[in-house]
Amino acid sequence: MFGKAAIGRKTPGWCAGLLVPLLAGVGIGKPAHAGCFPVREPQFVALRPLVSRDASQALAQAEARIARLPPGSARTDPRRVAALYAIQASAYRELALYHAARASARRGLKLLRGAVDPLREQILSSYAASFNSPAGIARALRRIKQARASLPANSPSALCLKITAGELNILRNRSDLALRELTQSYLRAQALGLPAARIDAGVFLTDVLRRMGEYKQALALIRQTIGWDKAHNSTNYLATDLYFEGGILRAMRHYHRAIAAYRSDRALSTTIDNRQGVAYANLRICQADIALQRFGAARRACNRAAPAFAAGNARAMIKETAVLRARIALGERRPRHALALLNGVLDHSGADLAATIIVPAYLARSRAEAALHRYAAAYRDQSEYLRRFKAENRISQARLKAALEMRFRTSEEFLRNAVLTRKLQAAAHHAAKQRQLLHWMGTAGVAGGLIIVLLSYILISGRRHRRQLLVLANTDPLTGLPNRGHTAQRATRALGSALEHDRPLTVALLDFDHFKTINDQYGHAAGDYVLREFARLSREALRGGDILGRWGGEEFLLVLPETTLDSALLTVGRLCALASRIDIQAGEPPTQLRVTFSAGLATTADGVRTLDEIVARADAALYEAKDAGRDAVRISRAASAVLGSA
């Protein structure tokens, strides 16, 4: 299995449709008696099941056995010693102690230098999967590729290394490549009759499904895994399964259920003394509490996570924790503290961090600087945030296209496998004397028939599913409005057209006031209702060419082409009146909460040339509206001067 740094971001529906029925018949999870690699060394075989139950105990026993080895044993029996280092590396990896895992793996690989066998490939897999920095993952992928080149393509070790490559591609946020590697691995493992490899590939596919948005299918897979690991008393793996489940639920915005899963993970990790596992659970609880705007609870959870990450020298996780602490500080109106934390995170301008950490860090720092009225610095960070966000969005779109293309290539592979299965089945029917083979082929025929049925569905629904994927990629699921990426694309086109034809355009950032109060007093369902109802009412009130998109949380971006600042103020005033009509009642006797928002406006008359510039100015004006007591509209200072001179 893998450490929790590997967890933490839409696959075509055909993949889920294929995997769920197949896995339902065989179970899914990590068998307690074996790993993916067919290692035969007695020391490894004896301790490997313990890694799945209690990695700390497995580590202690491996260390005790190493300590009892006579001097010079590494020379006389290097494989025996290497097998114990393999257990050490696997256990450290399960405990998310990645530096220690790499050190043990290096010792084992040194003893097996030049050897090509399952033990060496097992150690190499643990070594490769212990990296979580972009540079380290790239190096690990190169080593995996070199090792696979020296092995027969259909050997179990080559297949297991292919699964490791899929895991590494998950870590570097290449779900398209991971999907290809893991789907091919799953099919090949099934064809070769290697259930452990098939199960491992299926488990990693769970994370790909989550990252690509197929949440229901991901939940179905992980809950089968949970059942398997409970039945096999695989406590260590079960804790990781629950962490997976929490991640899926958090992505679905089921924050309370996610916290419950993380707490169960934390409790299990505590019983087996997996301190890094406890830290990861606390970190994700902190993240979910921030989404619920429970900043006090979030702060306590993040504070519990930080010391363990520091002790484990997990630099990426230390900085991710700092970003979450900064978001808490902003929520508690402590912008100076937030700014100090974020300056530490961005000490290398993000060169040492993944985009999933660095992009939110720039956004949070721009908000902290704006709250401190440092508008020039806020503008720079807002621009950097938007630049990086757009770059990541372009990459994501390219990867979605690649995943769709890979989908059809894999469909062809399914077809070839199905034809081959049918030919083998026909041959088996003609081999009357080979009854045992006939029985095996009959079983294979059932699987082939299932593949053919699924393939028919794939081909028929292909165009429709592509359209659905594109809609999902561009739409906010709660409000039905364009999501941030699609809003930015449309806004950029509208701004370019306005500048090219010298036509007016105004942008407004709208942010609901006291949204935490709505969630706290009336529940998050009420908060979601406010956002949905505002989106519905606004769509009816705006012109066909106007653009309204969800910019993040309770914040919306409004783009008004062919609109001067005075006309935009009237439009925002209409939306303000519509928001105040949203009816939220609760309590005994029922009381009504008036829904309001604050707004910041900027216009092309400010002399802006890019979307980054105009949004940054609107954002600064929005903060002035908030500072003025909320339920207010402010315009950027440049726009104020233009309006005053007019």
pLDDT in tens, 417-445: 444 444 445 444 444 444 444 444 444 44
- Reply yes or no: is the peptide bond before residue 477 cis, omega within 30 of 0: no
- C-alpha 381/C-alpha 366 separation (Å) is 5
Condensed to tens digits (0 to 9), the pLDDT of residues 570-602 reads 999 999 999 988 887 654 445 567 889 999 999
Q: Answer yes or no: is pLDDT of 14 > 60.
A: no
Closest by Cα among 34, 43, 28 to 199: 28
Q: Answer yes or no: is pLDDT of 629 > 50.
A: yes
Is position 180 within any domain? Answer: yes
Condensed to tens digits (0 to 9), the pLDDT of residues 164-189 reads 898 888 888 787 788 888 878 877 87
Closest by Cα among 384, 382, 374 to 619: 382
Q: Answer yes or no: is pLDDT of 548 > 90.
A: yes
Q: What is the mean pLDDT of residues 379-390?
A: 84
Is position 367 within any domain? Answer: no
- Residue 222 is predicted with a pLDDT of 84
- Residue 406 is predicted with a pLDDT of 53
Residues 462 and 493 in one domain: no
- C-alpha 193/C-alpha 622 separation (Å) is 61
Residues 470 and 491 in one domain: no
Closest by Cα among 623, 625, 626, 621 to 638: 621
Cβ atoms 493, 545 nearer than 8 A: no
Closest by Cα among 192, 280, 220, 247 to 16: 220
Structural domain range at position 457:
402-474
Residues 118 and 239 in one domain: yes
* 110 vs 198, higher pLDDT: 110
Domain final residue pick, 271, 287, 313? 313
Residue 297 token pair? 């609870």
Residues 418 and 557 in one domain: no
Is position 322 within any domain? Answer: no
Cα→Cα distances 594→514, 560, 597, 610, 611, Å:
10, 26, 10, 36, 32
Neighbours of 108 (CB within 10 A): 26
Q: What is the overall mean pLDDT for the chain?
A: 78
CA 250 to chain centre: 10
Residues 78 and 184 in one domain: yes
Q: Answer yes or no: is pLDDT of 268 > 70.
A: yes
Segment among 16-20, 46-50, 430-434 with least mean pLDDT: 16-20
H-type alpha helices, 312-374: 315-331, 335-345, 355-371
Is position 355 within any domain? Answer: no
Q: Answer yes or no: is pLDDT of 568 > 60.
A: yes
Q: Answer yes or no: is pLDDT of 22 > 60.
A: no
Is position 391 within any domain? Answer: no
- Residue 415 is predicted with a pLDDT of 43
Q: Answer yes or no: is pLDDT of 386 > 70.
A: yes
Segment among 21-25, 231-235, 375-379, 469-473 with least mean pLDDT: 21-25
Residues 242 and 98 in one domain: yes
Is position 338 within any domain? Answer: no
Q: What is the mean pLDDT of residues 539-553?
A: 91
Domain final residue pick, 287, 313, 339? 313
538: CATH: 3.30.70.270
Residues 463 and 502 in one domain: no
Closest by Cα among 328, 322, 333, 314 to 276: 314
* 249 vs 174, higher pLDDT: 249
Q: Answer yes or no: is pLDDT of 334 > 80.
A: yes
Cβ atoms 553, 561 nearer than 8 A: no
Residues 494 and 597 in one domain: yes
* Share above pLDDT 90 across residues of the chain, in percent, rounded to a whole number: 28
Closest by Cα among 348, 393, 344 to 364: 344
Residues 157 and 88 in one domain: yes
Residues 300 and 425 in one domain: no
Per-residue confidence band for 95, with pLDDT thresholds at 50, 70 and 90: confident
Is position 461 within any domain? Answer: yes
Q: Answer yes or no: is pLDDT of 6 > 60.
A: no
Domain total in the chain: 3
- C-alpha 324/C-alpha 286 separation (Å) is 8
Domain final residue pick, 272, 298, 313? 313
- Residue 597 is predicted with a pLDDT of 94
* Share above pLDDT 70 across residues of the chain, in percent, rounded to a whole number: 78
Per-residue confidence band for 74, with pLDDT thresholds at 50, 70 and 90: low
Is position 434 within any domain? Answer: yes
Residues 182 and 300 in one domain: yes
Q: Answer yes or no: is pLDDT of 41 > 50.
A: yes
* 503 vs 521, higher pLDDT: 503
Residues 116 and 217 in one domain: yes
**Quick one: which H or E segment has residue 602?**
strand 597-603
Exposure of 530 in the CB half-sphere (CA atoms within 13 A): 29
- Residue 518 is predicted with a pLDDT of 83
Per-residue confidence band for 207, with pLDDT thresholds at 50, 70 and 90: confident
Condensed to tens digits (0 to 9), the pLDDT of residues 447-495 reads 444 444 444 444 444 445 455 555 556 788 889 899 988 899 999 999 9
Segment among 26-40, 91-105, 378-392, 467-481 with least mean pLDDT: 26-40
* pTM summary value: 0.54
Residues 6+ apart with CB under 8 A from 146: none
φ/ψ of residue 476, rounded to 5 = -75, 125
- Ranked by mean pLDDT, the top range of 14-23, 213-222, 437-446, 451-460 is 213-222
- Residue 301 is predicted with a pLDDT of 95
183: CATH: 1.25.40.10
DSSP string, 252-282: TT-HHHHHHHHHHHHHHHHHTT-HHHHHHHH
Q: Answer yes or no: is pLDDT of 118 > 80.
A: yes
